[in-house]
Amino acid sequence: MSVFTRSQADREALLLPELADLTAHHRANSEGYDRILSSLGIASDAAFGSIADLPWLPVRMFKTHDLKSIPDSEVFKTLTSSGTTGAGASRIYLDKAAAGAQTKQLGATLQEVLGGERLPMLMVDTIGIIKNRRSFSARGAGVLGMANFGRKHTYVLDENDQPDVEAVKKFLAEYGDKPFLIFGFTFMVWLYLYEVARDHNLDLSNGILIHSGGWKKLIDRAVDNTEFRRRFKEDTGLTRIHNYYGMIEQIGTVFLEGPSGNSLYCPDFADVVIRNPETWEEQPVGEPGVIEVVSTLPRSYPGHVLLTEDLGVCNGIDDGDWPGKHFSVLGRLPKAEARGCSDTFAGAAA
């Protein structure tokens, strides 16, 4: 069943009461969250007229504060936003119910482009990234989370982080004549799949690529989203390409690129608000601003309304591939620290 069905009016009507209830739930169960909202002068019985009226937390708060709405004894998994659990990493606490919900909703979102069947899968990464099952980096969590949607996993990189061309050729010989899934972070997909496939004349035409991560290193190579899609199509035959935008602080919620490319869409349980960085009012369509991401998924920690450190623009409402708002990410805020999710890869600068 599709999770890209709600018009913006329906989304607002259905999500607002649920998000308001979540705000109350987190205030009642997270002392830190309640203190933050109280310090902002937001009363515990405050009413909200629209999704844009809901109080947001800067995503950076999860680096500096332990925010959770469950007792310590119910913490099932702790996710971190970088390779270490020290200072500078967001810490996200999930209980069993939250972990189950994020996996289920991620699956429902990706099913829109993958269908209901688990496909053979090329992972543009190394198996070493998922060795520690209890505490993940953002990259490891992304790889392991996506692994659930495939089968017959083949890793494109060997244990020395070098492309394993023979493994990719063997995979394509066995599964390449039917749909197969490809996942990786954008820069790594370009460097270790596109360039290898181009140089070895590999046919990726039956692939469905799901990718994410910063574009900065590719922009330095004069590769933007349009060029990325064009070169893959021309040199490898791959046309089904879906970028997504998501973050560990709102795990399980991804904003997926539509089939025609260049716009990201909100699943039915999520929304996006583009805010003016000076007034914090919602920007009209076509006016860039700071991206706020909204989701009904986070119940174990107060991550349901988050102000990111990314700039974006709403491209339209109810006039794209799927209903609701569709938007583009323009880059990081100038003074924001680099998220470094996929850029921490040791070999990326090679």
pLDDT digits (tens, 9 = 90+) for 291-325: 999 999 999 999 999 999 999 999 999 999 999 99
Amino acid 277: pLDDT: 92
- pLDDT of 128 > 80? The answer is no
- The average confidence (pLDDT) of the chain is 86
pTM, two decimal places:
0.85
Which pLDDT band holds residue 130 (cuts at 50, 70, 90)? low
Pairing type for strands 180-185 and 57-58 reads: unpaired
pLDDT in tens, 41-100: 999 888 999 999 999 999 988 888 889 999 989 989 888 875 444 457 888 888 899 988
- pLDDT of 257 > 80? The answer is yes
Question: Which helix (H) or strand (E) segment is 103 a member of?
Answer: helix 96-114
Amino acid 37: pLDDT: 93
- pLDDT of 19 > 80? The answer is yes
Residue scoring higher pLDDT (118 or 262): 118
Distances from the Cα of 299 to the Cα of 13, 29, 216, 258, angstroms: 20, 10, 33, 28
User: What are the percentages of helix, strand and coil residues in the chain, rounded to 5?
Assistant: 35, 25, 45
Residue scoring higher pLDDT (156 or 130): 156
Query: DSSP states of 216-275 as a string?
Result: HHHHTTT--HHHHHHHHHHHH---EEEEEE--GGGTT--EEEPTTSS-EE--TTEEEEEE
- pLDDT of 203 > 80? The answer is yes
Identity of residue 242: H
- pLDDT of 339 > 70? The answer is no
- pLDDT of 343 > 70? The answer is no
Amino acid 338: pLDDT: 41
The token duo for 320 is: 């794209």
Q: What is the dihedral of CA 256, 258, 259, 262, to 10 degrees?
A: -100
Question: Which helix (H) or strand (E) segment is 166 a member of?
Answer: helix 165-175
- pLDDT of 7 > 90? The answer is yes
Amino acid 82: pLDDT: 59
Q: Say how far apart CA 236 and CA 92 lie, in whole Å.
A: 38
- pLDDT of 273 > 70? The answer is yes
- pLDDT of 201 > 60? The answer is yes
Amino acid 148: pLDDT: 77
Which pLDDT band holds residue 147 (cuts at 50, 70, 90)? confident
Collapse the DSSP code of 211 into the 3-class scheme (helix H, G, I; strand E, B; otherwise coil) and give the result: strand
Average pLDDT over residues 225-246: 92
Rounded percentage of the chain residues whose pLDDT exceeds 90: 55
